[in-house]
C-alpha cells in the first residue's frame, strides 16, 4: 500500500476535522475513488462516474466466476486504498476510538463505514457555528483582482459545512456565489446565465 500524502494532517480530534477532511477529500477525488465514501450523487454538478457511490459486490461464493471474483477483489483493493488514507492519518488516540480497535480478530470494514464513524466521532459541530460560517460566505464580496481568493474561500467554507454535517443548499450557494461576483460585462453574462439555469 502506498504511503499517505503528507499534506493530509493528522486527525487528533474535532479541532482538526475540517482541514483533515478537506485534504482527505482532495486526495480521494484525485484518486478518482470518491464513490467509496459518497453517500449520494448530485447530478446537477455534472456527470462524474468517480463520484457515484459504489458498494461491495454481493452474492460472491466459491462458485462465482473468475470475472466475478476478480471484480470483487478489485473493488476491495480500491476500497482499501481509501481506507488506508483514512486510518493512516489518525492519531493513536483517534484510531483507538474506532469500533473494533485492538480486536485480535479484525473484521473487514468498508472505507465508507469507517468514514461515517469518524464523522460521528469528530465531524460534528453545533448549528450556531455552522450558521456563522454560512453567514460569512453570504457576506463575501468579490473584488475583480481577488477572484481566486474568493473562489478558494467559498470552497473552504462549503467543505467545512459539508464535513461538519451542515451542508449549504447547493442552489442557494450558487445563487449567493454568482450574485457577489464583480460587476462588468463578462461577470454579468456569467451571473445571468447561471441564475437562469437554476431558476432565478
Q: Are 124 and 161 in contact (CB under 8 A)?
A: no
Listed residue (97, 93, 91, 88) closest to 118, CA to CA:
97
Question: In this predicted model, what pLDDT tens digit does every residue of 148-182 receive, in sequence order?
Answer: 999 999 988 888 787 666 788 888 899 999 999 99
Question: In this predicted model, what pLDDT tens digit does every residue of 18-68 receive, in sequence order?
Answer: 788 888 988 998 999 999 998 877 666 667 888 889 999 988 998 999 999
Dist. CA 75–CA 40, nearest whole Å: 18
Looking at the predicted structure, is the pLDDT value of residue 106 above 90?
no
Residue labelled with grid coordinates 437562469: 196
Q: Are 148 and 187 in contact (CB under 8 A)?
A: no
Q: Are 115 and 94 in contact (CB under 8 A)?
A: no
The pTM of the full predicted model, rounded to 2 decimals, is: 0.63
Rama region for 38: left / alpha / beta (φ>0; ψ in -120 to 50; rest): beta
Dist. CA 30–CA 4, nearest whole Å: 13
Could you give the angle at the alpha carbon of 46 between the alpha carbons of 176 and 156, nearest 5°? Answer: 45
**176 vs 16 pLDDT, higher one:** 176
Residue-level pLDDT at 14 = 81
Amino acid at each position: 500500500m502506498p504511503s499517505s500524502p503528507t499534506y493530509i494532517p493528522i486527525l487528533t480530534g474535532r479541532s482538526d476535522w475540517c482541514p483533515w477532511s478537506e485534504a482527505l477529500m482532495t486526495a480521494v477525488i484525485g484518486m478518482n475513488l470518491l464513490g467509496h465514501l459518497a453517500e449520494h450523487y448530485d447530478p446537477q454538478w455534472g456527470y462524474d462516474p468517480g463520484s457515484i457511490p459504489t458498494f461491495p459486490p454481493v452474492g460472491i461464493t466459491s462458485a462465482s466466476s473468475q470475472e466475478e471474483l476478480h471484480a470483487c477483489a478489485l473493488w476491495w483493493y480500491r476500497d482499501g486504498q481509501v481506507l488506508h488514507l483514512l486510518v493512516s492519518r489518525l492519531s493513536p488516540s483517534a484510531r483507538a476510538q474506532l469500533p473494533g480497535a485492538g480486536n485480535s480478530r479484525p473484521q473487514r470494514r468498508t472505507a465508507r463505514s469507517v468514514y461515517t464513524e469518524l464523522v460521528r466521532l469528530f465531524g460534528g459541530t453545533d448549528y450556531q457555528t455552522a450558521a456563522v460560517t454560512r453567514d460569512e460566505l453570504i457576506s463575501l464580496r468579490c473584488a475583480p483582482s481577488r477572484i481566486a481568493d474568493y473562489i478558494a474561500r467559498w470552497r473552504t467554507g462549503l467543505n467545512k459545512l459539508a464535513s461538519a454535517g451542515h451542508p449549504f443548499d447547493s442552489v442557494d450557494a450558487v445563487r449567493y456565489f454568482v450574485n457577489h461576483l464583480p460587476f462588468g460585462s463578462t461577470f454579468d453574462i456569467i451571473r445571468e446565465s447561471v441564475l437562469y439555469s437554476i431558476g432565478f
